[in-house]
Structure 1
């Protein structure tokens, strides 16, 4: 019965496994690494620098195994929204959909658009409000592109991910060129001093490591569209994270070769500095190209995922039935796409009149992300108990040890995201509480229970 939900929603299994892998890679690979690598180097010793990245990649794969089991057992365009409501009930699922709609997805879309606009502004001054207008234009263009049809949206994402991976490998090649020439990086005259050391420093570093690996859970929204339902999600999620870990290790190795550990910790733009030392002049064009492709790929993948979660959640609330329409001709949730785009534009408008740095957005997103990731991981154990006879083409190895290990990690990261970061975390939590209040005002009768077909 796992296919029935796709028929009800109008969704078809159209996505080849390899393309699903590339789309998943596009959900997680971003230029965050160009910002997070110096922060990680600043908070951990040189002996542990590579190990925290390897640890982050392996633990992310452990979480992906949990999601692969649920995605193959309960395929649905809502992804972990669907898992949460099966495990905990409709209201928790709706609260998760709200958090994605108001905090995680739309906030990430606006942040990525502003990141691209700021890099363009550094090369071609856009004026006082030019960054906001440029960011809004990028979002509008990608929403319109996805409205043209699912094939265009997914093919665009595939091409962007390939170009982005090649761009990152080009930066890594600069480190290889310097290593081949036996280049010895200079130690900076002023060494960066970490704000936190020991356990606190490790916790802060892991927050940024997992930020760079974040987004893999969104791949569960593709579970009803991947052609090979038995192994497609497993290959897409584990394959994407394996490739990402290899790319990140190559980039960090290149940074160390070109800048040295102390130089990386003190750098504000390691990619630019590395290319400068390798080729004699700042390769602004290449960095701008990589950042632009990354931002567009990130926004495009978030639109693909966010619209599907909004569509799935709207089907359960009569007041939101206008968003619960799947355009069968183009194969997209058209109205949900427009809604995600509209909220993202509102955040861009807000951002145009306020200044919020990269770290502030990390604080805003992180607690909400880890809260629901912990609930989703625990949902695996609950669903095994509630639906023991459901077909499970993929099963988590070392059950229940591995899920409980990842659940403990999620709780630790949730604690760290509140204790070891700034006040921006409180704003994200406040928006989540607002969603809970709105759900309470709707009342129990306003949310339709899942049908039997959608449970399995």
Structure 2
């Protein structure tokens, strides 16, 4: 193991700022794009709202499992550290490789492309407008994080507060001012819970990122569970509220066919300026998601370099800026590479989703299983959080994660194959890192 003398993470995250990171990652662009697909698989309004409540419940179950693991083993490497402790360095390295080259970088590029799509509706920069905006976003937010954890954290707090406030206003305004919508009785649409939940849980995705702040969270052993549960409760309330507004303003039938549900909602509430308002909301959401993803993603890269001397240059923590600068530069460079590739694909957004999903759910599944391994080893202290209703709670979430892994492999495009192939390249890289002469 390579122990750098360049500094280590400081305890700078309070419960509130950690919750802001989680909410900032999760409450992003998905809530403005995916509800129409969920509605296509809901026979009634009750089914539709039920899917969003179920998504929140399943995510909370997963968060309970993660809270116990993180309170037992707090580390800036998050899942990388858990997987290494449970299965050995090969699996830990493979995860960190996948996160560095696929999961986080693909998610950053995804958020940046969606920002670019909406920014282009305000001011178009030409043929590659979305990609240009995406590249500027990656460079700008990476620079913010290199400047230091404090500025990045403060910016995240502000963006998360703003987007939560906007969603509350839109949701409440939609519910209060929406017209009378005739309930769908005797609908010809069959409810497909399995398909609907794929997209619901994709919209809830990212809550697991909170564990990457465990080395920097004050009072982590007692506070990690609070951070994850409060964060997901806020998210669930927001999602149910905004989806209730969609139903109240648009109705289930229009919701199924609308490709711009956010614009339709804001047009109904605010009039002809709705399109501009929604573009602004999505841009803020994308900035919030991308910044929070950059914050947590760089922590894994730092932990990888810290533990493997062959990659030790990315495992340096700058004590002056309290930031893993080299790890951020690597992450930013790969993200820019994905933006460049996406510029030449017709469906950059869907390609990035396909690219990340199978690898993401594979490691979510493996990480949840570590809870059983750590329990069997009796590695706990009296002040660590313990998941209630063990072992039923983790078993339930493992079943859900297994289904999402299956779905992300079977029902995605060529991007998924590329993501899996790049993950596999991590095996020879691991062999090289292990055997490189010191």
TM bucket, shorter chain: over 0.9
Counterpart in the other structure of 2:27: 29
CA distance in 2, matches of 1:389, 1:244: 30
CA distance in 1, matches of 2:188, 2:79: 40
Return 72-81 or 410-419, whichever deviates more. Answer: 410-419
Is the CA contact 2:6–2:316 (under 8 Å) kept in the aligned structure 1? Answer: no
Deviation string 1:363-401 (CA, Å, 9 cap, x unpaired) is 222111111000000001111223435555200111111
Counterpart in the other structure of 1:438: 429
> Is 1:296 the counterpart of 2:287 in the alignment?
yes
| SS class of match (1:396) | coil
Counterpart in the other structure of 1:275: 266
Counterpart in the other structure of 1:332: 323
Counterpart in the other structure of 1:15: 13
Is the CA contact 2:43–2:188 (under 8 Å) kept in the aligned structure 1? Answer: no
CA distance in 1, matches of 2:36, 2:427: 37
Q: CA deviation at 1:315?
A: 1.4
Deviation string 1:167-213 (CA, Å, 9 cap, x unpaired) is 2123213312433xx444799xxxx997xx66xx3222111111111
| SS class of match (2:110) | helix
CA distance in 2, matches of 1:9, 1:90: 23
CA distance in 2, matches of 1:112, 1:447: 39
- Kindly report which structure 2 residues correspond to 1:68-87, keeping only aligned pairs within 5 A, or say none: 68-87=67-86
Q: CA deviation at 1:437?
A: 3.6
Counterpart in the other structure of 2:202: 211
Return 153-162 or 387-396, whichever deviates more. Answer: 387-396
Aligned length: 433
Is the CA contact 2:15–2:217 (under 8 Å) kept in the aligned structure 1? Answer: yes
Is the CA contact 1:67–1:377 (under 8 Å) kept in the aligned structure 2? Answer: yes
Counterpart in the other structure of 2:42: 44
Q: CA deviation at 1:63?
A: 0.7
CA distance in 2, matches of 1:338, 1:185: 53
CA distance in 2, matches of 1:392, 1:311: 28
2:395 to 379, 401, 404: 404
> Is 1:224 the counterpart of 2:215 in the alignment?
yes
Return 127-136 or 331-340, whichever deviates more. Answer: 127-136
Return 262-271 or 142-151, whichever deviates more. Answer: 142-151
Q: CA deviation at 1:157?
A: 0.4
Q: CA deviation at 1:104?
A: 1.0
Unaligned runs of 5+ in 2: none
Counterpart in the other structure of 2:174: 175
Counterpart in the other structure of 1:346: 337
Q: CA deviation at 1:349?
A: 1.3
Q: CA deviation at 1:446?
A: 5.1
Deviation string 1:292-328 (CA, Å, 9 cap, x unpaired) is 1111111111111011000001112222111110011
Change over 3 Å in CA distance of 1:108–1:166 after alignment to 2: same
Counterpart in the other structure of 2:162: 163
Counterpart in the other structure of 1:452: none
Deviation string 1:38-91 (CA, Å, 9 cap, x unpaired) is 011112222411111111111111111111111111110001111000000011
Is the CA contact 1:203–1:420 (under 8 Å) kept in the aligned structure 2? Answer: no
Change over 3 Å in CA distance of 1:352–1:360 after alignment to 2: closer
